[in-house]
Amino acid sequence: MKIETEINDGDRRLLAEAIDGFVPAKVIDIHAHVVEPTGYAPTTLGTHLDGRTISPAHYFEAMELILPGGRLKDALFFPFPAREHDRAVINAWMYAENAKVTGSFRARGLAIAGPRDDPRAFAEAMADGRCVGLKPYHLYAGKGDTSQSALEEFTPEWMWRLCDQHGAILMIHLVRNEAVSDPGNLEALRRLSEKYPRCQVVLAHIARAFNHRTARGLRALADLPNIWVDTSAIAESEAIRTAIEVLGPGRVIFGTDYPISHVRGRCVTTGNQFQWIYPEDGKPTRMTLVGIESLLALRAACTDTGLKPAEVEKIFEGNAKAILAKFR
Ligand SMILES: [Zn+2]
């Protein structure tokens, strides 16, 4: 896998199909990664990241490839998660990098957080504005296979309480096979979202509906006003359409998942699973970027649900602005 810095004619045609007359002039990205590779243990970074540093400045430059015209000047960053790395060091590096972003650009950050981390450092960073919330991840739950972890094993109650106190964002990448259709996940999301109503929950990747059928589980959460979803890396319009229909366009937020957005590939639903496919696998050979696939899917979903331009603008800018407003 390779982070692309150029696109070909085929990509350009698809990109035009995705964005011309659809993507507004201003876009906020609610889900973008930065990488400080020296903070990671050897072999824990994906091969597609190949040891390079990704700062907010790199990111804004890279975004011209899929969102040209200076549309993207404001993003919410968090470090790319890996199992064994020094979270405190990486968070501190990100805070410093975000602080370097000036002028018409804006960078805010979520701290990566493990269940046994000391909450005090995060409380301080939220209080002085260095971070606007937390990004837990199942890999921090412990050793071995964490793909079936219960939500609270990697997103314990102290994270909810802290985000509630600060009106901060809790970015959750659900796990377990059924993701947002898993009864245990649904029970925990309802109980904790109700108990901590000022905690602003963003369920990444349309509540990780890489198998688009699992997105239907969002129906059980539709009445919870502090739950949003982001569109990052989702290439199937069915998942985004379900989110728009169930939650409304006011709670769907555009995200890229950079650098994943700049890798060629696509995640597809198959049976009760999902499968990432990449050109390196052999077939198909002319794949486009995940970010272009995701924009195509988002456009299809907005068209199918009959969204008006003002509602599309909310997805690309207004909703993120609202959720980040208290930190401005
Ligand atoms: Zn991500």
Provide DSSP, 20-42: TTTS-S-EEEEEEEEB-GGGBPT
Q: Give how far the C-alpha of residue 19 lies from the chain's centroid of Cα atoms, to the nearest Å.
A: 20
Cα–Cα distance list, 178 to 141, 198, 213, 254 (Å): 19, 27, 9, 23
Contacts 24+ apart (CB under 8 A), 81-86: 81/112, 81/135, 81/137, 81/139, 81/140, 82/40, 82/41, 82/44, 82/45, 82/139, 83/41, 83/44, 83/139, 83/140, 84/40, 84/41, 84/44, 85/39, 85/40, 85/41, 85/44, 86/39
Strand pairing category for 266-270 and 273-277: antiparallel
Give the confidence band of 237 by pLDDT, cuts at 50, 70, 90. Answer: very high
Least confident of 96-100, 231-235, 280-284, 293-297: 280-284
What is residue 115's predicted lDDT score, i.e. its pLDDT?
97
Count CB neighbours of 240 within 10 A.
28
- Provide mean pLDDT across the span 95-113: 97
Q: What is the pLDDT of residue 81?
A: 86
Q: Which pLDDT score is estimated for 326?
A: 77
Task: Give the pLDDT band of residue 47 (cuts 50, 70, 90).
Answer: low
- Integer-rounded Cα radius of gyration of the chain: 18
Q: Once rounded to an integer, what is the mean pLDDT over residues 79-85?
A: 83
The single residue listed with the structure tokens 């106190």 is 165
Q: Which band of pLDDT confidence, cut at 50, 70 and 90, is reported for residue 113?
A: very high
Q: Does 48 score more than 70 pLDDT?
A: no
Q: What's the 224 CA to ligand 1 centre distance in angstroms? A: 23
**Mean of pLDDT over the chain:** 94
Question: For the domain 9-327, what is the CATH code?
Answer: 3.20.20.140
Q: Tell me the CA–centroid distance for residue 25 and ligand 1, in Å.
A: 24
pLDDT surpassing 70 at residue 166: yes
CA of 268 to the centre of ligand 1 (A): 17
Specify the pLDDT at position 45.
62
Region 259-275: mean pLDDT is 95
33 CA → ligand 1 middle, Å: 6
Ligand 1 centre distance from Cα of residue 30 (Å): 10
Å from CA of 242 to ligand 1 middle: 21
Q: Of 173, 170, 171, nearest to 160 (Cα)?
A: 170
| Cα 300 to middle of ligand 1, angstroms | 22
In this predicted structure, the answer to whether residue 26 has a pLDDT above a threshold of 90 is yes
pLDDT of residue 2: 86
pLDDT confidence tier of residue 246, bands split at 50, 70 and 90: very high
pLDDT at 46: 66
Question: How remote is the CA of residue 234 from the centroid of ligand 1, in Å?
Answer: 11
Q: Where are the beta strands (DSSP E) in 64-123?
A: 72-79, 106-109, 111-113
Identify the residue whose tokens are 């409304």. 248
What's this model's pTM, rounded to 2 decimal places? Answer: 0.97
DSSP code for 314 = I
Q: What percent of the chain has pLDDT over 90?
A: 87
C-alpha of residue 86 to centroid of ligand 1, in Å: 18
CA of 14 to the centre of ligand 1 (A): 23
